[in-house]
Amino acid sequence: MDRIELEKRVEELNNLLHEYGHAYYVLDKPLVSDALYDQYMQELLEIEAGNPDLIFPDSPSQRVGGEVLTGFGKVLHTFPMLSLSNAFNDEDLREFDRRAQAAAGHDISYICELKIDGLAIAIRYEDGKFVQGSTRGDGRVGEEITMNLKTIQTIPLRLKEPVSIEVRGEAYMPKKAFAKLNAKRDEAGEEPFANPRNAAAGSLRQLDPKIAASRNLAVFVYGIGGDGSAYGQDSQSDALNHLAKLGFETNQERQRCTSIEEVIDYIGKWVEKRADLDYEIDGIVVKVDKFEDQEQLGFTAKSPKWAIAYKFPAEEVTTKLLDIELSV
């Protein structure tokens, strides 16, 4: 192939592999066989090896970076990453609802989202290309972990639209990956991770991206920058649907509720069902859905008044340990 044909083919392979990767990892609906995907990736790698100037920064071949870092830089978040106030029982939720109705002066609709037990992250895109990833840190300044986040297949390197946007989400390790990792560490005589959350945090703090890439991490995104209103959405539900359209993985168990009683029923369902999930959750996040209602409520110093985290009691496994301790 001559230079022009080569450039065209590289562009075509980039587009195909982004599309097939999104279908496979985010939609869980493969468009081609693994063999064909690998064949295209091999072809791209060969062209890139012979023509390094044709390596796009967001090329699917660039997920696992080369060099081992010596440390993590600091990132000042464009918007603060706020925390959530907690609810521990139904009465706390009803109180939250009463306050919201009083501030808004009308009935409130909510959206309930599973609270993934992982690590909060921020990912930034410029013109649709992944440019930076960071941890929450203290909410204003986080650690730059771009190279490690690039290895996570459910984080798109290129969005479906060339927008510049900052997205918030939770990086986590699925239960199966956690069990496999601890079995491997056990064999190697290494200390097991206490839980998937620690395993995810430990993996994202690796200085060698190849180790992070081996840890089968995933991400659910749950927010746009400060809030979605800057991007034309008028509710949290809208913002989540928009994020899915851009190519992100959003959690499919979310549900809009038109009353706090419906929220309480939804939470009751998940207290039972959480064991069936492929990942750990430590509660349910309840958010006022409409952004105009959120604005009426505003913020406290560290968290929005329009969201609350209903926390599940600690897993029964801890109470078993307690029983053993108490019995000796």
Ligand X SMILES: CC(C)(CNC(=O)c1ccc(Oc2ccccc2)cc1)c1ccc2c(N)nc(N)nc2n1
Q: Which is nearer to ligand X, 178 or 306 (CB)?
A: 306
Q: Which residue is nearest to ligand X (CB)?
A: 226
Residue 170 sits in the site that holds ligand X (CB under 6 A): yes
Considering only residues 220-279, where is the footprint of ligand X by CB under 6 A?
Answer: 222-223, 226-227
Specify the 3-state DSSP secondary structure of 207. Answer: coil
Among 21, 128, 228, 304, which residue sits at the site for ligand X (rule: CB under 6 A)? 304
Residue 115 sits in the site that holds ligand X (CB under 6 A): yes
Measured in degrees and rounded to the nearest 5, phi and psi for residue 18 equal -65, -45
Cβ within 8 Å of residue 211, ≥6 positions away: 203
Catalytic residue ranges = 115
Residue 308 sits in the site that holds ligand X (CB under 6 A): no
Site string for ligand X, 196-225 (x = CB under 6 A): --------------------------xx--
User: Nearest approach, Cβ of 60 to ligand X (angstroms)?
Assistant: 28
Which range touches ligand X (CB under 6 A), out of 24-32, 77-85, 90-98, 104-112? 77-85
User: Nearest approach, Cβ of 221 to ligand X (angstroms)?
Assistant: 9
* Ordered alpha helix ranges (H), the chain: 3-21, 34-50, 90-104, 146-150, 175-187, 196-204, 209-213, 236-246, 260-273, 291-297, 316-327
Among 10, 17, 26, 84, which residue sits at the site for ligand X (rule: CB under 6 A)? 84
**CA 85 to mean position of chain CA atoms:** 20
* Ordered alpha helix ranges (H), 106-165: 146-150
Q: Side chain identity at 288, as an amino acid letter?
A: V
For ligand X (CB under 6 A), the number of binding residues is 17
32 C-beta neighbours (distance < 10 Å), count:
16
Specify the 3-state DSSP secondary structure of 272. Answer: helix
User: Nearest approach, Cβ of 42 to ligand X (angstroms)?
Assistant: 38
Question: Cα–Cα distance between 241 and 221 in angstroms, integer?
Answer: 11
Residue 281 sits in the site that holds ligand X (CB under 6 A): no
User: How far, in Å, are 44, 105, 134 from residue 292 at the CA level?
Assistant: 47, 12, 29
Run of H or E including 75: strand 74-76
User: Nearest approach, Cβ of 131 to ligand X (angstroms)?
Assistant: 20
Q: Which is nearer to ligand X, 161 or 299 (CB)?
A: 299
User: Nearest approach, Cβ of 82 to ligand X (angstroms)?
Assistant: 4
Q: Which residues bind ligand X (CB under 6 A)?
A: 79-82, 84, 113, 115, 168, 170, 222-223, 226-227, 285, 299, 304, 307
